[in-house]
Structure 1
Amino acid sequence: MKKVSRKKFSAEFKAKVSLEALKEQKTLAELAVQYDLHPTQ
């Protein structure tokens, strides 16, 4: 069996997504789709 590797996100990417989430212009689900993330992360 192959071990599934986890995605590693840069601090810059995390900050960008976090700031966009704080603006509340899109739902978290929409942001998750846009940035290829799981909605509960």
Structure 2
Amino acid sequence: MTNPQWLDWAQRLQMIAQDGLSYDPRPFDKMRFDQVREIAA
């Protein structure tokens, strides 16, 4: 059984946010990546 499209999007958003947070972003970027991660959770 395949995942629904929205679940794939949420997982991809979580990965993008985690990658962004891994590179010691500036405070504004960290806030944005945190928000994306929260929305995707």
User: Which protein has the larger Cα radius of gyration, Structure 1 or Structure 2?
Assistant: 1
- TM-score by length of structure 2 reads 0.43
More helix by share: 2
